[in-house]
Amino acid sequence: MKTPLQITFRDIEHSDALEAHIREKAEKLETFFEPIMSCRVVVDMPHQHKHQGRFFNVRIDIGVPGSEIVVNRDRHEDVYVALRDAFDAARRQLDDYSRRLRRETKTHDAEYIGEVVRLFPEEGYGFIRRTDGEELYFNGDNLVNTTLAQLSEGVAVKFIEDMAAAEGPQAKRVSVGHHHLPE
* pLDDT tens string 11-29: 888 889 999 999 999 998 8
Residues of the chain with CATH 2.40.50.140: 111-176
**Assigned fold of 111-176:** OB fold (Dihydrolipoamide Acetyltransferase, E2P) (2.40.50)
Residues of the chain with CATH 3.30.160.100: 5-101
pLDDT tens digits for 123-167? 999 999 988 888 999 988 888 888 888 888 999 999 988 877 667
Exposure on the CB side of residue 125, measured as CA atoms within 13 A: 10
| b/e per residue 134-158 (b: at least 16 CB within 10 A) | eebbbbbebbeeeebeebeeebebb
| pTM, full prediction | 0.54
What's the pLDDT band for 53 if we cut at 50, 70, 90?
A: low
Q: What does residue 76 show for φ and ψ, rounded to 5 degrees? A: -135, 140
**Assigned fold of 5-101:** Double Stranded RNA Binding Domain (3.30.160)
Which residue intervals of 30-172 are DSSP H helices? 79-101
